[in-house]
Amino acid sequence: MPFSQSSQISAIVQFGEAVNPASLLDVGVGMGQYGFLFRTNLENVGLFDIDGANATWRPKNRWRVKIDGIEGCKDYITPVHDFAYNSVMIGDALECLSTIADKSYELVIAIDILEHFWKEDGWRLLSELARVSSRATLVSTPKIFCAQEFEANPLETHRSLWSAEDLAQAGYGGILENGESWVATFTRSE
């Protein structure tokens, strides 16, 4: 479904705040939860023009952080996306990622989408996420396989299970504390 485990939200947002990126790519935006959280937590008071006791919304073109997304299901797009994201590409994640130049975003996140790929495509996804990131990448995926299939959206089918060892083999060796999901990070050392 277009939501993620609530137990991982704090770890993910805290990691993003520590990176403090000027640009972020959210792959598999779903309902826009992380775009909204990162918009409000990274932009903070920069969302407003403050003049004494008056605060007005600052135009989006003056916000500090560029937040873009990729979503496979156009039906998930809501007004939240219009607010939180600068732009959202609709389409297959691997195809969309292939159109993005190397190191285009300081932080790339893919929350609860890896399990929706067959292992072979999942390895490609992990590689592509790291390729388009200039500083850090964060992925999350459940620790146990939970069968899931929705006729209305075949992209929601769970196809694979990933271990901490799998993620480390792909370069995602930083594991953030979480009980239900692997929250793994790749940090560019250049």
Residue 1 lies in a domain: no
Q: Quick one: pLDDT at residue 115?
A: 96
Q: Name residue 70's beta-bridge partners.
A: 27, 89
pTM of the model: 0.94
Residue 113 lies in a domain: yes
Structural domain containing residue 121: 6-187
Report CA-CA distances (Å) from 106 to 26, 72, 82, 131, 145: 11, 22, 21, 11, 31
Residue 163 lies in a domain: yes
CATH number of the domain at 34, please. 3.40.50.150
Residue 128 lies in a domain: yes
Q: Quick one: pLDDT at residue 83?
A: 95
Residue 78 lies in a domain: yes
Residue 26 lies in a domain: yes
Q: Quick one: pLDDT at residue 63?
A: 95
What's phi and psi for 53, nearest 5 deg? -85, 0
Q: How far apart are the first and last CA of the chain?
A: 36
Residue 147 lies in a domain: yes
Domain count, the chain: 1
Distance CA 134, CA 44 (A): 23
Q: Quick one: pLDDT at residue 145?
A: 82
Token pair in block for residue 185: 């990070």
Q: Quick one: pLDDT at residue 152?
A: 77
Q: Quick one: pLDDT at residue 2?
A: 55
Residue 182 lies in a domain: yes
Query: Mind listing the pLDDT tens digit of every residue in the chain (190 residues)?
Result: 455 678 899 999 999 999 999 999 999 999 999 999 999 999 998 999 999 999 999 999 999 999 999 999 999 999 999 999 999 999 999 999 999 999 999 999 999 999 999 999 999 999 999 999 999 999 999 999 887 787 777 888 999 999 999 999 999 999 998 889 999 999 997 5
Distance CA 103, CA 96 (A): 15
Helices (H), 27-184: 33-38, 79-84, 93-98, 119-132, 164-169
Distance CA 21, CA 90 (A): 23
| Residues contacting 64, CB < 8 A, separation 6+ | 22, 42, 43, 46
